[in-house]
Structure formats: C-alpha cells, structure tokens
A and B are shown apart, each in its own frame.
Chain A
C-alpha cells in the first residue's frame, strides 16, 4: 500500500495523475505524515537535480498556515452556476439564425428554379410604374395648358415660365 502511494506520489509530482486521483492523493497526504515526508523528499530531490539548490517547506508548514487561517473569516461566496436562461437564449438565437438562413435559401432556390416567373413579375411592376407616370404627366400637361389664358395676354407670355416636374 505504501509502495503504491509512493508511486502515485511520484506520478503526482510529474503531473501524471488525473484530477480525481490527485484529489484523493492530496487528501491522503493531508492525513498521513509519512506521505508528507515522502513528498518533501521527492521535491527536494527534484529541486536539487535541477538547480543545485535544495530548499523545501518544513514539516509543520501546512499546520502553521492552517492555524493562521483558522482566525480568518470564512468565504461564503455563492457558487457561480452557468445560468440556465443563457443556454435557452443561445438556443433561441441559433434557431432564429437557422430559420433565417432557411428562408433565404428557400427563396433563392425558388427564384433560381423559376427564372421566367421573376422576369414576369419585374415586367408587371414596370408596367404599373409606367401607368402611374403617364397619369402624372397628363395631369401636368392639363395644368399647364391653361397658362395662355391666365394672364389675359393671349398668344404671348410676359416671361418664361418653367414648370417644375417634382415628385410628390
């Protein structure tokens, strides 16, 4: 058992354990002075090999900090859960985008499938606009046809009148 724990300690130092195994081992170290000493020794060896220097935490290091922290206030920060609404909003936005893309794709596809239908629609629209323009142009001509008689000066005009043709 000790051998196995020591082997895990070696893997832990090299970051080879997963989260759960690491947590389990840390709890074991916390309760077992022999494992604490082993961790201290392995750390010392590692540092001495790498740096020609050796300085690790003393055996009462954790206990001293625990004692200091006992007098500190306890945190009671509520856990930050990912809000459920956020997910709903994200799904709704994604669905909206998909719907929009689908509609545009469908319309584009339909237009491509019926090119003559589009041309007919354009022609009908142009015809409608042309009729409206003709009506307005006729109204303009009728309005200005009376100019001759307005000023009691038949056959002549005192000044040039330029009729504006404005869009109303």
Chain B
C-alpha cells in the first residue's frame, strides 16, 4: 500500500464539515489526531513544556473559532499549522513585551521568526528528561533485531513509505507493517520505567 496522503485530507474534510454543521464531538477527533504534532511544533518555539501545552491548546481553540471561515482551500493541517506558529510567536512576543498590547499579525510573525529574543529557554529539568528519553530510545533501537531496526529507521529517519521499505528490504508490505509495529512496541517497553 502506498502512502495514501489524500485519505487523511478526506477524513479531515469530513470532520471539519461535521463541526461546521454543529457536531462539536467531531472536533475532538481532530484534536486527538493532531495534538501531538501541534504540541511538538509549538515546543520548537516555546520550550517550557507546560507553556507549550497551553499555547497548543490555544491553537486548537482559535482553530475552532475560525473554523466557520475555513473553506478547505488548503489542507486542514496546513491551516492548523499556520495558526499554531502564529499563536506561538504571538505568545513569545506578548511575553517579552508584557506591558504592551501590541500583537503581531501573520506577516510580522513570519518576519520575526528568527529574532533571538523570541527563543524560549530550555529548563534544566526539561532538558534532562528529554536527554534521558532520547537516550533510552536510542539504546532500545540499537538492541532491536536487525530487520526491525532497519525498518523503523527507514521509516522514521528516512521518511520512506511502506512500499519503498518493502522494496529496499525485499519483503512483503505486510512484513514491513509488522516489523515497524514490533519495533515500536519494543521501544515503548523500554520507556516504561522512565515515563510509565
């Protein structure tokens, strides 16, 4: 099976339409689907974990409020991604100018992307936790059987599709699915003592 990226867009469009017709529960499904991506994205700007969570939540609430005007001209995730970046930048700017009511708009947000004063600082606790998690995951990957290690590496590092991995590893796609899943399970088991 090749990467059916249109499938995701179809699903998103269907859920957006349901929200626009009054089904708030459909928005929960969009949040479930994209919550981790958005938190991770916001975290690139807002390093403090709890602040990143708040900004990511703001992103979804802003998205819900604007959803009435969303016409599906771009993919839902692209639209949500822009809202997340602008929300994060606005948050950092408003925090650095606590006494100002000034808020940047979309264009300004693009221009100030690399401003050093807008980079949040890692907290020592957060950095330590991050390092530990990454270390455990790397160690777990090294201990995986070779075929699982190659499959998960090609998928996550190289971003290859299942079809491409099957071709590269000369095995059926079903085997690729199984190997990637078992690799994730094995890594997850190693994470248990740390974050379980």
- Chain A contacts to B: CB under 8 angstroms: 6-7, 10-11, 14-19, 22-23, 26-27, 29-30, 36, 38-58, 61-62, 64-66, 68-70, 72, 74-79
Number of interface residues of B (CB under 8 A): 62
| Per-residue A-contact encoding for B150-189, CB less than 8 Å = 1, 0 else | 0011011100001000000000000001101100110110
A selection of 25 A-B contacts at a CB cut-off of 8 Å is: A6-B181, A7-B177, A7-B178, A10-B184, A11-B181, A15-B7, A19-B14, A23-B15, A23-B29, A40-B36, A41-B191, A44-B195, A45-B137, A47-B40, A50-B156, A50-B157, A53-B134, A55-B49, A56-B39, A61-B39, A61-B53, A66-B31, A72-B61, A72-B65, A76-B21
Indicate if the CB atoms of A14 and B162 lie closer than 8 Å: yes
- In the complex the two chains form, what is the Cα distance from A61 to B37 in whole Å? 13
Known contacts A30-B29, A75-B67; is-contact A18 B39 (Cβ 8 Å): no
Indicate if the CB atoms of B188 and A62 lie closer than 8 Å: no
A residues near B181, Cβ cutoff 8 Å: 6-7, 10-11
- In the complex the two chains form, what is the Cα distance from A29 to B35 in whole Å? 13
B residues near A44, Cβ cutoff 8 Å: 36, 133, 191, 195
| Per-residue A-contact encoding for B43-54, CB less than 8 Å = 1, 0 else | 100000100110
B residues near A39, Cβ cutoff 8 Å: 32, 36
Known contacts A11-B177, A55-B43; is-contact A46 B191 (Cβ 8 Å): no
- Chain B contacts to A: CB under 8 angstroms: 1, 3-5, 7-8, 10-11, 14-15, 17, 19-22, 24, 27-29, 31-33, 35-40, 43, 49, 52-53, 56-57, 60-61, 64-65, 67-68, 129-130, 133-134, 137, 141, 152-153, 155-157, 162, 177-178, 180-181, 184-185, 187-188, 191, 195
A-B pair number, CB within 8 angstroms: 157
Known contacts A45-B137, A52-B134, A72-B65; is-contact A23 B14 (Cβ 8 Å): yes
